[in-house]
Amino acid sequence: MVAGRTCEKDQRVLEKNDSFLPPGDPPLTPSGSQIPVARPSEPRVLRPRRAAPGDAIRPTRAEVNLAALRHNLRVVQKYSGGAKVWAVLKADGYGHGAPAVARTLERAGAHGFCVALLEEAIELREAGIFAPILVMGGYYPNAHAEVIHRNLIPVVYNEEHLDGFSRASRLLGSSRALPVHVKVDTGMARLGVTMDNIEGFAEKLKARGEVEVSGLMTHFGSADAENVSDVEAQLLRFEEATLRFAEVGIRPQVRHAANSAAVFRKEGLLDIVRPGIAFFGVSPTLPDGSPLTTELQTVMRVRSEIVDLRTVHEGSAIGYGGLWRAKRPSRIATMPMGYADGLSRHLTNRGHVLVRGKRAPIVGAVSMDMSMVDVTDIEGVSMRDEVVILGGQEGVLGSDSISVDEIAKHCETIPWEVLCAISRRVPRFYREP
């Protein structure tokens, strides 16, 4: 085995070695090299795997329009009032593939990125992202040194964070204080320093020279409400928190609060804005359903193909449980996409797809790997015809589009969940139209 590299045979052994090994000399692989051992005190941070376009066999895939992504960045910048844009790329970039999305946005002018998990931040660094990355989830047990090593910015809000980063910094012999952003709970009641504990937390910060507060942040709970009274109340608390930190000598360089909805309402823009869903063409909506902007472009298109086509008799049951029965002789097409790919079972007998530019209803229960659609009323359907599950289609019989908002309404959920649900076994193809 070449130093620093693992041969294919050894890699298979490593993948089987799924538990911590006892102390002692590492065992040997079949080729005679030693297996690197993860000790209990050294947490292994692994990158999740997704299906690669080059490995795709079935026709189900998600197409990501990078030009639309850049367009949406320009829209966000227009509304941001001069604040720097840090794109939120949690949950694999809302299902779009965080590394490719981050590379595109970084080159197009995004100033930084925000993620929920340390694992997500590491994935971006290993993809070659050099911009600042803020880890917002606050979960770093025994991995504080990894944050420092990867040049990441952690969000902190309790003493455990401060202890962990101070200890790691001393052990690593860091020559400079670690920049951190402090999160303040101004009304979300989820994470953050409470308003009652600002001075106490500030004193703990000042006692630890290994960390330096470079940012102060909060998060809005109701930026898409009918009115902005809750946002304004949270901003007032945030201003109070800023003054109280300043009174004890903590004056961060930047502050940030605004998510996508707040950006389009121009509330709480401050020094940095943190939009997420907007980059992917989804506008937050008001309670009456009206979007906060119509300027965004859809970024993802999910498509498959017809892999089976048959005629069924009147009264025939379709799918598990016979949840749909033909009321006439019907043409039923099968597509290789199911709930394991992110096509929700809530779309059973409710959702639609596009075939030849026309809508076809999903019939019968959505199963794990396949689903059926009724194409009786669509002329000329044949094997291998394209099926569009999300996005637009220009077909020989017309053109139409299925939006993520439409799917979310059928599923009685929100667009965020629909996009994040598209699983990693659906390969992402990145396109420049």
Residues in the chain: 433
Cross-strand pairs, 392: 401
Out of 9, 78, 266, 320, pick the active-site residue: 320
430 catalytic? Reply is no
358 catalytic? Reply is no
Instruction: Give the angle 376-377-379 at the CA atoms, nearest 5°.
Output: 95
Longest dimension (CA), the chain: 78
Compute the distance between CA of residue 14 and CA of residue 261 in angstroms, rounded to an integer.
45
Give the count of alpha carbons within 13 A of 361, CB side only. Answer: 14
Structure tokens at 361: 């209803």
- The answer to whether 19 and 27 have CB atoms below 8 angstroms apart is no
- State the DSSP string of 5-47: ---HHHHHHHHH--SPPPSSSPPBPTTSPBPP---TTS---PP
- The answer to whether 204 and 162 have CB atoms below 8 angstroms apart is yes
Structure tokens at 117: 């998990």
From the list 325, 339, 302, 279, the residue with the least C-alpha distance to 90 is 279
Compute the distance between CA of residue 199 and CA of residue 217 in angstroms, rounded to an integer.
16
Out of 79, 90, 157, 183, pick the active-site residue: 90
* Residue written as token pair 């670690």: 178
Catalytic residues: 90, 320
